[in-house]
Amino acid sequence: MHSLSARQCTIASIVNFSGIGVHSGLPVNLSIEPAASNSGIKICRILDDGSRSKPSDVHYSKILSTNLCTKIDLGNSISAATIEHVVSALSGLGVDNALIALNGAECPILDGSAMPFVQAIVDCGLKILPEKRKYIKILRSVRVRNNDAFAVLEPYNGRALDLEIDFDSPVIGRQRMIFDWTPRQYVEDVAKARTFGFLTDAKALRQSGHALGSSLENSIAVDDNEILNPEGLRFDDEFVRHKLLDAIGDLALGGLPIYGKFRSFKGGHGLNALVLSSLFANEENFEIANADELPLDFDALDDLPDGLNVESYLRSVG
Ligand SMILES: [Zn+2]
């Protein structure tokens, strides 16, 4: 395999975003900053006095809630919500180490996909670090379920997701996507898929203080038989692609990239968190492996020489 795909990376410089929280409706600034080898993805809050909270691992053990979004405990009664899209962008691009800093309680929703994060990270470029990348290699199948919904992590020579959804809505219905991860495939097939919601749920959500920032600018709105967004869908099956985007973000809360296959049916943030905690509940289910011990070879962003901007690499992706 290419030697560089075995090495960790971070982003080359700080990237900044401004937007609103989809649930809070409040303005928020978020930055992603470079971080050292073996630090993983961390998150902190910039407090009203300008100080920073202690960076906290983006880790399944810190999950406070998976209701509508994934919310992480940062200690001292502060938290960060709706982390899944920015974390998906980092994980999907193969960024091992980064610090996310935000000055509000919820990450900005931007256009409802991971693409604005991806574009900014790609524009800024990646920095290859000296240390080897590590993976969580799945050794035994782990399965969790909730009625007919389930999520599975199982041994597999590669990094794959096989995700199926089934909505009682004629514009969504049953959709399945099988995805073999590479950074390039993530950018082409996953990153642009937007979050979605049903008009019938919107009123109750708003009354309970959720979805206050949601609009056609950042969500696909589904009415009984139609999509309300005038521009339509970005993919015919944008819904399952967004669920896959969410799953990539949620599974990054394992702390290291997973080497194996994830399967789910009618899944979501809750089952994704549960399958991780079940995996780590038994040490015989997994092992930590160095990248050069694994048969994983991909046409990766991190195959590029140190310091080279990846923008030209991805220009052909569009
Ligand atoms: Zn999402």
Q: Which of 31-45, 60-74, 86-100, 295-309 has the lowest mean pLDDT?
A: 295-309
Distance between start and end Cα atoms, the chain: 27
**pLDDT tens across 99-130, in order?**
999 999 999 999 999 999 999 999 998 999 98
How open is the CA angle 93-283-148, to the nearest 5 degrees? Answer: 70
Mean pLDDT of the chain: 90
**Distance between CA atoms of 45 and 188, rounded to whole angstroms?**
31
Mean pLDDT of 215-239: 93
Q: How far is the CA of 111 from the centre of ligand 1 (A)?
A: 11
How far is residue 242 from each of residues 61, 177, 234, 246, measured CA to CA in Å?
24, 10, 11, 6
Q: How many angstroms separate the alpha carbon of residue 15 from the centre of ligand 1?
A: 21
Q: Which of 23, 59, 242, 269 is catalytic?
A: 269
Domain range for 56: 3-315
Beta-carbon count within 10 A of 280 CB: 15
Instruction: Please state the rounded mean pLDDT for residues 28-44.
Output: 97
Interval between CA 308 and ligand 1 midpoint (Å) = 31
User: Distance, CA 154 to ligand 1 centroid (Å)?
Assistant: 23
The total number of structural domains that make up the chain: 1
Q: What is the pLDDT of residue 292?
A: 81
Sequence-ordered list of residues with C-beta below 8 angstroms from that of 98, at least 6 positions apart, any chain: 10, 11, 32, 33, 34, 35, 41, 42, 90
What is the Å distance from ligand 1's center to 12 Cα?
26
Residue type, 278: S
Give yes or no for residue 242 having a pLDDT over 80: yes
pLDDT band at 211 (very low <50, low <70, confident <90, very high): confident
Residue 214 to residue 274: CA distance in whole angstroms: 27
pLDDT tens string 281-300: 999 999 999 988 887 655 44
Q: Cα dist. 309→2, 13, 272, 303, 304 in Å?
A: 19, 11, 33, 12, 8
Instruction: Give me the mean pLDDT over the 49-60 stretch.
Output: 95
Q: Which residues surround ligand 1, an ion (CB under 5 A)?
A: 195, 246
| pLDDT value for 312 | 43
Q: Are strands 41-45 and 56-57 parallel, antiparallel or unpaired?
A: antiparallel
Cβ 66 vs Cβ 268: under 8 Å: yes
Q: What spacing in Å lies between the alpha carbon of 196 and ligand 1's midpoint? A: 8
Evaluate if residue 258 carries a pLDDT over 70: yes
Task: Report CA(293)–ligand 1 centroid distance (Å).
Answer: 33
Q: Measure 290 CA to ligand 1 centroid, in angstroms.
A: 30
Residue 85 is a catalytic residue? no
pTM score: 0.92
**CATH number assigned to the domain comprising residue 260:** 3.30.1700.10
